[in-house]
Amino acid sequence: MRFNNNADPFTTSLNANFWTYAADDVALTAMALVARLRKFSPAIIKRNSKAKVMAFLELQNNHFTLAPSLLRQFAFANSCIPQKIEDMSDAYKAIAKADIVLENPKFYNKIISEPDTNIQEKHNLQFFNTIKNSAIEFMSESSSSFSSSPSH
């Protein structure tokens, strides 16, 4: 969809596809809530939600305008890290995502981990350290093989 020279790009973007995606998002959120309610009581969900809001406010007090971006990065940190590092792009992505968590472990654990589970901070940090070290090792091996190749 092109918005160049469009008199009303906002209205143009509110097409059938937009509303389908928006409705799907609302439906998926509702289904996730129902699944959560089956696992935890509403009181636990309310307590956990309040704890996460308090953690976000603390994050905001420490990182100001970066807080929303950090929150989003935390939410997708596990899923956005390549499981297998195959090229330099994967290595850079892995290091960047891992560093966000490793530089802010207290906030990551307060916002992401579930208080009523046995997920330990050490486990999360160990995962991100392992990913980061794998990426650094890949980069080191790649640069050494690059520097030892004959020049043309």
The per-residue pLDDT for range 12-34, each reduced to its tens digit, is 777 888 888 888 888 888 888 88
The residue whose two tokens read 């890949």 is 138
* CA distances (Å), origin 1, targets 7, 10, 23: 14, 12, 20
47-97 pLDDT, tens digit per residue, is 888 988 999 999 999 999 999 999 888 888 877 787 788 999 999 999 999
Q: Say what the pLDDT of residue 111 is.
A: 84
Q: Is the pTM of this model over 0.75?
A: no
How much is the average pLDDT of 104-122?
Answer: 69
Cα gap 22→149, rounded to integer Å: 52
> For residue 3, what pLDDT band results from cuts at 50, 70 and 90?
low
Q: For residue 90, what are its two tokens?
A: 């994967």
The residue whose two tokens read 């406010």 is 57
127-137 pLDDT, tens digit per residue, is 899 999 999 99
Q: Say what the pLDDT of residue 102 is.
A: 93
Q: Say what the pLDDT of residue 39 is.
A: 82
Q: Say what the pLDDT of residue 120 is.
A: 47
CB 13 within 8 A of CB 1: yes
Cα gap 49→36, rounded to integer Å: 12
Q: For residue 59, what are its two tokens?
A: 């994050």
> For residue 146, what pLDDT band results from cuts at 50, 70 and 90?
low
Task: Please count the other Cβ atoms lying within 10 Å of the Cβ belonging to residue 78.
Answer: 14
